[in-house]
Amino acid sequence: MNTSVRQVQGRVPVAVLGVQGDLDASNYQDLIATATEVYGAGTKDILLDLTNTSFVSSSGLVAIHSIAILAQGEPLPEQDAGWGALRAIRQGLGTGVQEHVKLLSPQPKVVSTLEKTGMVEFFEIHTDLDTAVASF
Amino acid sequence: MDLQLGQAAIDDMILAVDESATNVIVHGYQGRPSSIEIEVAREGDSLVVRIRDRAPPFDPTTHPPPDLTLPLEQRRYGGLGIHLTRECTDAMLYRATPDGANELTLLRKAY
């Protein structure tokens, strides 16, 4: 997997993270690290460009999930807590579609993976970059 | 070998095998160098994949399903691999082989 990062200015600055190749157990932490860097540098809105993402496994979903939580300003769980790390239930938190992380042009089989896990409900999916950036 | 498979069957089974093998590597072998045997066949109308490993005994078919009704903020990270395997296949069968290996059989219609 290769990741690209570019900043696009809409109403707000948006970091477009392009994910090329397979997003799986071998590299999902790299994507989280990239997003963490971007967020730490000050960009609070992230568009995951999945146009060239050929495959997303459950590990890839962990990355997308983590990035969404990160973009809410929350810390990520300890990496050494393992895959079973439970997040404390937070009361009074807004739920539903994520405001600060959106998806661009996922391929049908990636959409299928999002649908099979119910994750599709949490993310706006756009098919046009300009529309996606303007939506933040 | 041409198994005459539909693309949907191929995509689903690739995901199911990836999830299953990853679980063996990460949770079964816990990253230790080991081997996994994967056998692929067409049996009638089905694509059949058998995955064998020598990690400690684990039957993924008894793993409870995740709660997909939870909002994102309340979901645990991960834990979707077995669920995806179930969703991508028509059947998931486990047995412990006589020589002590785990054997997971995944079936999916070939078209």
ipTM of the prediction = 0.90
How confident is the model over B13-29, as pLDDT tens digits?
999 999 999 999 999 99
pLDDT band at B7 (very low <50, low <70, confident <90, very high): very high
How far is Cα A121 from Cα A113, in angstroms, rounded to an integer?
Answer: 12
Beta-sheet strands, E only, within chain B: 36-43, 46-53, 91-96, 102-109
Query: Hey, of A29, A107, A116, which one would you mutate to test binding to chain B, going by the most B CBs within 10 A of its CB?
Result: A116
Check A117 against B11: CB less than 8 A apart: no
Kindly report, residue by residue over A33-63, the tens digit of the pLDDT.
999 999 999 999 999 999 999 999 999 999 9
Q: Which of B54, B69, B61 is nearest to B85 (CA)?
A: B61
Distance from CA of B98 to the nearest CA of A (A): 31
| Cβ-defined contact of A93 to B73 (cutoff 8 Å) | yes
Helix axes A108-116, B81-88, angle to 10 degrees: 110
Q: What is the pLDDT, as a whole number, of residue B62?
A: 94
Q: Residue B32's domain is classified under what CATH number?
A: 3.30.565.10
What residues of chain A, 91 to 130, have a C-beta less than 8 Å from chain B?
93, 95-96, 98, 109, 112-113, 116-119, 122
Q: Cβ(A6)–Cβ(A16) under 8 Å?
A: yes
CB < 8 Å to B69, chain A? 118
Q: If 0-12 CB within 10 Å is exposed, 13-18 middle and 19+ buried, where does residue A52 land?
A: middle
Range of the domain at B12: 7-109
Number of Cβ atoms within 10 Å of the Cβ of B64? 8
Tokens of A93: 């938190």
β pairing state of B91-96 and A53-56? unpaired
Tokens of A82: 């393992």
pLDDT recorded at residue A78: 58
**Does a structural domain hold residue B2?**
no
pLDDT tens digits, one per residue of B46-100: 999 999 999 999 999 999 988 888 888 888 877 899 999 999 999 999 999 999 9
Model's pTM, two decimal places?
Answer: 0.90
CB B83 to CB A117 under 8 A? yes
Contact across the interface for A96 and B71, Cβ inside 8 Å:
yes
Number of H helices and number of E strands within chain A? 4, 6
Beta-ladder partners of A21: A53
Report the C-alpha gap between A99 and A113 in whole angstroms.
21
pLDDT at A80: 42
Residue B18 inside a domain? The answer is: yes
Nearest to A50 by CA among A110, A130, A128: A110
Q: How do beta strands B91-96 and A45-49 pair?
A: unpaired
Measured in whole angstroms, the distance separating CA B108 from the mean position of its chain's CA atoms is 11
Gap between the Cα atoms of A33 and A45, Å rounded = 16
Which class in CATH covers the domain with range A2-81+93-134? alpha beta
Q: For the segment A63-101, what is each residue's pLDDT rounded down to a tens digit?
A: 999 999 999 888 776 544 434 443 433 333 346 899 999
Q: Where are the domains of chain A?
A: 2-81+93-134
Give chain B's domain count: 1
B1 inside domain? no
